[in-house]
């Protein structure tokens, strides 16, 4: 497929710079609301006008003092309160405690080499302290080139040093609040030509931190109001590997060396934050990293049970939710990131966050491990929308543009456009509740469309009305592991452009056992459909009839024109996919193009709704897919099970009763030293007649099927022994239904695992044993 490039990125950034500068003129004097209304697609972030002035050339309307810094003509012995009496060095500002409403104004076109700006003090509500520019409107942004001259945040033993952690930025704020930063240029690299590949270097553009160990009793642990806009950050260098600390262009972090249990609840977070209209180039690790909490959570007692009885290790950070440590009320929008070392926009431990109209051009450029283009970890009640991500690597681990991450609650990805990402489309980790990905467009994300799944979920996940356009010859799989909890695929388009290779749906047998497919379209340009294609009685195999040629998809237009790119894949009015979908409340109320959901007899398939037929103002789901269940009676459900061996790990949750609880997300496991045969005995309590037995092994990214052979046995009370009535030596794997043994009546059933797959070293683990009678 040949993308249609509508313009070079540098022109878009130049235009965005003019737009953002005018917006910044108002930042020092007008305090914006916590969440501005979303900008209409195709419209600039603020009115376009020629650069009239820097914010520092306008009066201070917040009642504070202005302090001017001029790297060439200033004097630190001067008062600093006018351009003619400007200070010279940033050190002078660092030695000053500023008051609410004050402004620190750097002269446009000047440079501060080998310096760091860490002014002291905090603003107040309606009177933030501002860092900005003044001077010649035709000069460039004032430039702080720190060149790596920042302290090492680690102690000799590798632990974080409370005295220096968080002091690694060109601009630093620690335990401070009510700050606006705009119209500056930053770098923090001692050698632009050479990438750091080893060592313990940590460098940032802007580092804002809460250091819980340095807060005095009674001091505020909640840091309020930050506005960062029209900042150009480039060449932030550090080793491209994990050091158990984040660093990058704009970085918010919470530090504390003690256990999270040692800190009070309901504090230690940021709120009311806007990061917008910034540009990042050649940055390690992240362009934006927001709010990761580093309280210690790796001790033996750091884990906890949730309200459903599920066990969580400390690193899963459920404690951020249970102790109300989320940062909150955050807007991240209209930022451009290019050539980023790791994940470009990595967000964590935050609720009530809107992330929109961000563009990522190249991520994971120098880091071959787990991360993605734009994602939220351990967050809640947040939405990622109208973002564009491209240029991702062919990464063995995550590497996708998006990620439905661990310990997320009510997180939605909608109206996003990703293309040309070699690792695939969406990483999917599990351990989440109410995750939704809807009305997104993916083109040439030829890796794994839905990658991984490492844990069960609290509630089903919904992939609805997404459009996937890919080359089956380059695609690895639709899914590479095994869905461990219920996943619904509704109204999606799977459009394979390959004329030689059908869609490869999965790598592991049973990978889709927990996935329900309904009303999707499966188009194969070759005309040949894979035997792996999922069952979808209400689905379609038709050509979608897109408005545009899929081979000529749009790139280079930028997020301001993201709907223009998406409209290329809208449906023609005569498309067979019009009115061919099904309604579900998780569809939301609008499609990618802003069209109401829905028109006509039913929603359309794909990411755009056509206005064909009458508008359905208040849709009702009168055929809930969640109620389409197997109504057969499982005769083993809830019956007691005795295992000859049980693993003691996972806090005692691997017991044999999990095999008959009707829940495929739970499991039994044999002890590590168990010897074959391993027996699993179900006691029906009375004679029971059946002719079908269902068996299912547990698998995940590191667990393969392990059983090679088994036997099914009934208890013969007269003979006082077990009698085999069926056996197999071809393994169990997933969703094995054993029939053909006629009708068996017994009060007890034994599943005897008699042999192990030769290439497997670990003992078996299974999710379910079910027993049925035909017609019952």
Nearby residues of 264 by Cβ (< 8 Å), 6 or more positions away: 221
| Residue that is last in its domain, among 564, 594, 623 | 623
CA 59 to chain centre: 42
Query: Would the pLDDT of 7 be above 80?
Result: no
Q: Is the peptide bond before 598 cis (omega within 30 degrees of 0)?
A: yes
Distance between CA 340 and CA 366 in Å, rounded? 8
Query: Helix, strand, or coil here: 496?
Result: strand
pLDDT tier at 53 (50, 70, 90 boundaries)? confident
Half-sphere exposure of 600 (CA within 13 A, CB side): 18
Parallel, antiparallel or unpaired: strands 380-385 and 350-356: parallel
What whole-number percentage of the chain has pLDDT above 90?
Answer: 81
Q: Give the whole-angstrom CA distance, residue 523 versus residue 542.
A: 6
- Per-residue confidence (pLDDT) for residue 776, from 0 to 100: 54
Q: Which of 243, 259, 262, 283 is nearest to 160 (CA)?
A: 243
Radius of gyration of the chain (CA): 29
Closest CA to 188 of 153, 151, 152, 146: 146
> Sign of the CA dihedral 768, 771, 775, 776?
negative
Shared-domain flag, residues 417 and 332: no
Asked whether residue 192 is assigned to any structural domain, the reply reads: yes
Domain co-membership, 449 together with 567: yes
Alpha helices per DSSP H over 288-330: 318-322
Residue 162 lies in a domain: yes
Residue range 242-285, pLDDT digits in tens = 788 999 999 999 999 999 999 999 999 999 999 999 999 999 99
Say if residue 376's pLDDT is above 90: yes
Do 223 and 210 meet the contact criterion of CB atoms below 8 Å apart? yes
137, 36: one domain: yes
More confidently predicted of 36 and 312: 312
For residue 315, pLDDT over 80 is answered with yes
Classify residue 85: in a domain, yes or no.
no
The CA distance from 426 to 341, in Å, is: 19
CB contact at 8 A, 435 and 460: no
Which of 155-164, 201-210, 696-705 has the lowest average pLDDT?
A: 696-705
One domain for residues 680 and 555: no
d(CA 377, CA 500): 39
Q: 351 lies in a domain?
A: yes
Instruction: Show the tokens assigned to 162.
Output: 């409370």
SS (H, E, C) 132-187: EEECCCCCCCCEEECCCCCCCCECCCCCECCCCCCCCEEEEEECCCCEEEECCEEE
Model confidence over 654-668: pLDDT tens digits?
999 999 999 888 999
Q: Assess if residue 76 is contained within a domain.
A: no
pLDDT confidence band for 228 (50 / 70 / 90):
very high
For tokens 């590497």, the residue is: 399
Q: How many beta carbons lie within 10 A of that of residue 368, not counting itself?
A: 16
Domain tally, the chain: 3
249 and 223, same domain (yes or no)? yes
Please write the tens of the pLDDT for every residue from 94-139.
999 999 999 999 999 999 999 999 999 999 999 999 999 999 999 9
At residue 625, does pLDDT exceed 80?
yes
Q: Which two tokens stand for residue 157?
A: 């033993």
Q: Which residues pair with 751 in a beta bridge?
A: 680, 712
Domain end position, chosen among 310, 336, 367: 367
| pLDDT at position 33 | 29
Map residue 304 onto helix, strand or coil: strand
pLDDT band at 67 (very low <50, low <70, confident <90, very high): very high
335 belongs to a structural domain = yes
DSSP letter, residue 45: S
Predicted local confidence at residue 385, as pLDDT: 98
Judged against a pLDDT cut of 60, whether residue 20 lies above it is answered with no
pLDDT at 197 over 70: yes
pLDDT band at 25 (very low <50, low <70, confident <90, very high): very low
Task: Please check whether residues 396 and 320 belong to one and the same domain.
Answer: no
Q: Which domain holds residue 400?
A: 388-623
Residue 374 and residue 384 in contact, taking contact as beta carbons nearer than 8 Å: yes
CATH code for the domain in which residue 765 is found: 2.60.120.260
Region 549-561: what's the mean pLDDT? 94
Residue-wise pLDDT tens digits, 291-306: 999 999 999 899 998 8
Contact 547, 570 (CB under 8 A): yes
**How many residues does this entry show for the chain?**
776
Asked if 222 and 186 sit in the same domain, the reply is: yes
CB–CB of 682/660 below 8 Å? yes
Is 79 within a domain? no
Same domain? For 523 and 460 the reply is yes
Last residue of a domain, one of 367, 402, 417: 367
Same domain for 403 and 268:
no
- Count of CB atoms situated within 10 Å of the CB of 546: 22
Comparing C-alpha atoms, which of 159, 173, 369 is closest to residue 256?
Answer: 159
Average pLDDT, the chain: 91
Residue 60 lies in a domain: no
- Residue 368 Cα distances to 181, 339, 364, 398, 399, angstroms: 33, 14, 7, 9, 9
Q: Is residue 492 over pLDDT 60?
A: yes
- Give mean pLDDT, residues 28-35: 31
* Same domain? 401 vs 271: no
Are 517 and 553 in a shared domain? yes
What digits encode the pLDDT tens for the residues 729-775?
Answer: 999 988 899 999 999 999 999 999 999 999 999 999 999 999 999 86
Residue-level pLDDT at 241: 75
Same domain, yes or no, for 619 and 645?
Answer: no
Q: Which two tokens stand for residue 46?
A: 């603020």
Burial class of residue 290, CB neighbours in 10 A (0-12, 13-18, 19+): buried
Confidence (pLDDT) at 775 = 64
Mean pLDDT of 143-163: 95
Cis check: omega of the bond before 416, within 30 degrees of 0: no
Q: Identify the pLDDT of residue 476.
A: 97
């Amino acid at each position: 497929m040949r993308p249609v490039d509508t313009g070079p990125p540098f022109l878009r950034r130049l235009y965005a710079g003019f737009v953002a500068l005018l917006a910044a003129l108002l930042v020092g004097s007008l305090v914006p609301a916590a969440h501005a209304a979303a900008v209409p697609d195709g419209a600039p972030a603020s009115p376009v006008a020629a650069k009239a002035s820097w914010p520092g050339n306008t009066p201070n309307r917040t009642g504070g003092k202005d302090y001017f810094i001029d790297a060439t003509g200033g004097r630190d012995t001067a008062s600093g309160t006018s351009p003619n009496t400007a200070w010279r060095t940033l050190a002078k500002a660092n030695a000053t405690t500023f008051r609410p409403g004050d402004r620190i104004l750097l002269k446009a076109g000047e440079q501060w080499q080998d310096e760091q700006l860490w002014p002291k003090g905090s603003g107040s509500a309606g009177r933030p302290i501002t860092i900005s520019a003044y001077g010649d409107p035709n000069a460039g942004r004032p430039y702080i080139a720190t060149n790596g001259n920042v302290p090492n945040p680690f102690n000799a033993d590798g632990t974080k040093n409370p005295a220096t952690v968080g002091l690694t930025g060109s601009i630093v704020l620690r335990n401070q609040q009510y700050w606006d930063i705009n119209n500056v240029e930053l770098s923090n690299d001692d050698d632009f030509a050479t990438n750091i590949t080893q060592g313990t270097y940590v460098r940032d553009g802007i580092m804002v931190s809460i250091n819980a160990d340095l807060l005095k009793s009674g001091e505020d642990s909640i840091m309020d109001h930050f506005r960062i806009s029209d900042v150009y950050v480039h060449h932030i260098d550090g080793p491209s590997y994990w050091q158990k600390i984040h660093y990058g262009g704009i970085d918010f972090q919470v530090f504390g060396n003690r256990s999270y249990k040692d800190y009070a609840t309901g504090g230690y977070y940021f709120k009311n934050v806007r990061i917008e209209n910034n540009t990042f180039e050649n940055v390690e690790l992240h362009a934006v990293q927001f709010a990761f909490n580093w309280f210690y959570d790796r001790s033996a007692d750091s884990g906890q049970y949730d309200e459903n009885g599920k066990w969580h290790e400390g690193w899963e950070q459920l404690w951020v939710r249970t102790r109300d440590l989320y940062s909150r009320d955050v807007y991240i929008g209209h930022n451009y990131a290019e050539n980023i070392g790791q994940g470009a926009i990595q967000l964590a431990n935050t609720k009530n966050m809107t992330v929109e109209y961000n563009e990522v051009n190249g991520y994971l450029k120098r880091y071959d491990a787990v991360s993605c283009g734009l994602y939220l970890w351990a967050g809640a009640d947040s939405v990622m929308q109208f973002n564009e991500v491209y240029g991702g690597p062919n990464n063995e681990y995550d590497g996708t543009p998006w990620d439905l991450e661990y310990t997320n609650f009510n997180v939605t990805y909608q109206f996003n456009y990703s293309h040309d990402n070699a690792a695939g489309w969406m990483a999917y980790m599990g351990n989440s509740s109410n995750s939704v990905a809807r009305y997104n467009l993916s083109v040439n994300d030829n890796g794994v469309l839905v990658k991984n799944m490492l844990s069960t979920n609290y509630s089903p996940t919904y992939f609805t009305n997404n459009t996937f356009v890919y080359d089956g010859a380059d695609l690895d799989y639709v899914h590479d592991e095994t869905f461990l909890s219920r996943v619904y695929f509704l109204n999606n388009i799977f459009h394979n452009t390959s004329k030689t290779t059908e869609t490869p749906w999965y790598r592991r047998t049973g990978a889709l056992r927990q996935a329900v497919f309904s009303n999707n379209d499966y188009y194969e340009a070759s005309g040949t459909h894979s035997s792996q294609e999922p069952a979808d009685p209400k689905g379609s195999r038709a050509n979608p009839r897109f408005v545009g040629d899929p081979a000529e998809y749009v790139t280079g237009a930028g997020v301001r024109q993201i709907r223009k790119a998406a409209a290329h894949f809208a449906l023609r009015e005569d498309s067979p996919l019009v009115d061919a979908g099904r309604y579900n409340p998780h569809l939301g109320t609008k499609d990618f193009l802003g069209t109401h959901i829905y028109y006509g007899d039913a929603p359309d398939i794909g990411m755009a709704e056509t206005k064909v037929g009458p508008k359905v103002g208040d849709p009702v789901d009168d055929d809930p897919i969640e109620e389409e269940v197997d109504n057969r009676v499982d005769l083993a459900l809830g019956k007691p099970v005795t295992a000859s061996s049980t693993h003691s790990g996972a806090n005692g949750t691997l017991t044999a009763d999990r095999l008959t609880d009707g829940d495929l997300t739970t499991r039994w496991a044999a002890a590590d030293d168990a010897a074959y045969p391993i027996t699993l005995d179900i006691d029906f309590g009375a004679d029971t007649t059946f002719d079908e037995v269902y068996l299912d092994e547990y698998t995940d990214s590191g667990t393969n099927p392990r059983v090679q052979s088994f036997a099914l046995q009934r208890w013969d009370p007269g003979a006082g022994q077990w009698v085999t009535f069926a056996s197999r030596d071809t393994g169990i794997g997933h969703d094995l239904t054993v029939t053909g043994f006629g009708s068996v009546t017994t009060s007890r059933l034994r599943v005897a695992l008699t042999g192990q797959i030769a290439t497997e070293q670990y003992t078996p683990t299974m999710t379910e044993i079910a027993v049925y009678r035909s017609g019952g």
